[in-house]
A and B are shown apart, each in its own frame.
Chain A
Amino acid sequence: MALGVAPVVAKFYHDAITKGGLDHPLNKARPGSPRGRVRIGNRGAAMENFTPFSAVAGGALIGLAAVVLMWANGRIAGISGIAGGLLTPARGEVAWRLAFILGLIGGAGLYRLAGGPLQFLQFSTSTFSVAVAGLLVGFGAGLGSGCTSGHGICGIARVSKRSIVSVALFTLTAAITLYLIRHVLRGA
């Protein structure tokens, strides 16, 4: 049974990585230019860029990553927690964190080497604003004990009340922030 499913799953992921899989016809707006900026405003049909198959395929891999880390090492796969632990290093708490982060970077690297449809990223804001955002993201995740992975994936999976509150609050705040930037301040 499990063996029968394996080639289907393998083909699904192979397609998702090399061609954008089943989303491909929907995903015509490829990030083509190396320094592409996000186009703001309506560009026709609603949800034109919705990529449900690669979203589920990628999301399942992230969930699997969380399962592996808990199963093997008994740890929550929260990136801000794993990275934060390196800043005040404790005995026996450094190497595995570095290995995880190396894997995190390497996993994206493998995708790019395999010729995945996403080869360049698009930033909508200046490098300075990205740095300010980084400061806020780091401080907020540190203070609030987690980010999109720790609270979002692992916390929700544990049905943690703290995580549910955190995810609701940071998603709402992020949406309001972007609305103000794009549709009020810039008037786009």
Chain B
Amino acid sequence: MMARLAAALVSGLLFGLGLAVSQMVNPAKVQAFLDIAGPWDPSLVLVMVAGAAVAMVGYQLIFARGKPLFADAFALPLKTEIDARLMIGAVIFGIGWGIAGLCPGPGFASLVFGHVESLFFLGAMGLGLYFARQVA
């Protein structure tokens, strides 16, 4: 139990540090990527590519081991079908991401920068997540 908590804490720390180092915690930085008609900043692409590449190599090594260190099995999504919920969800998410330049990870990480916007974003995001669970 303590090992699982410590691992989750370490993972969160690395994640938050990564969001800050890459500046993806800054809405303006994200919107500079999304705004293709402005002075375009492709940094976000490199963050995604580097993150996915490290995870891809790591996952291969981990899955080959058969099971995680502190749990009985890997909890992986089983769905493979591309359904309407996935697509409608992605479109709604995209509209929100475009408006504010914030997504859930940076929403949390942004808290330490002391802007009131973070609180409004996270409160509303919690409400949205809750509604989605009611629809499910």
Contacts and interface: CB of A to CB of B under 8 A. Distances in A.
Interface of B: 1, 3-29, 31-32, 34-44, 46-56, 58-59, 62, 67-77, 79-82, 85-105, 107-113, 115-117, 120-133, 135-136
A141 B85 CA distance: 10
Nearest to A128: B120
B109 A140 contact: no
Nearest to A136: B96
A162 B77 CA distance: 10
Given A52-B46, A181-B98, A144 B86 contact: yes
A33 interface: no
A48 B4 CA distance: 43
Interface of B is mostly: helix
A77 B11 contact: yes
A53 B94 CA distance: 26
Contacts of B69: 71-73
B7 A134 contact: no
Interface in A126-170: 127-145, 147-149, 151-154, 156-162, 165-167, 169-170
Residues of A in contact with B, size category: 35 or more
B94 A62 contact: no
Interface of A: 13, 16-17, 31, 38, 40-44, 46-52, 54-77, 79-80, 83-84, 87-88, 95-97, 99-112, 116, 118-125, 127-145, 147-149, 151-154, 156-162, 165-167, 169-179, 181-183
A112 B21 CA distance: 10
A80 B6 CA distance: 20
Given A58-B19, A59-B47, A118-B26, A71 B124 contact: no
Contacts of B46: 52, 55-56, 59
A141 to B, nearest CB: 5
A136 B1 CA distance: 34
Nearest to B36: A175
Nearest to B130: A87
A63 B133 contact: no
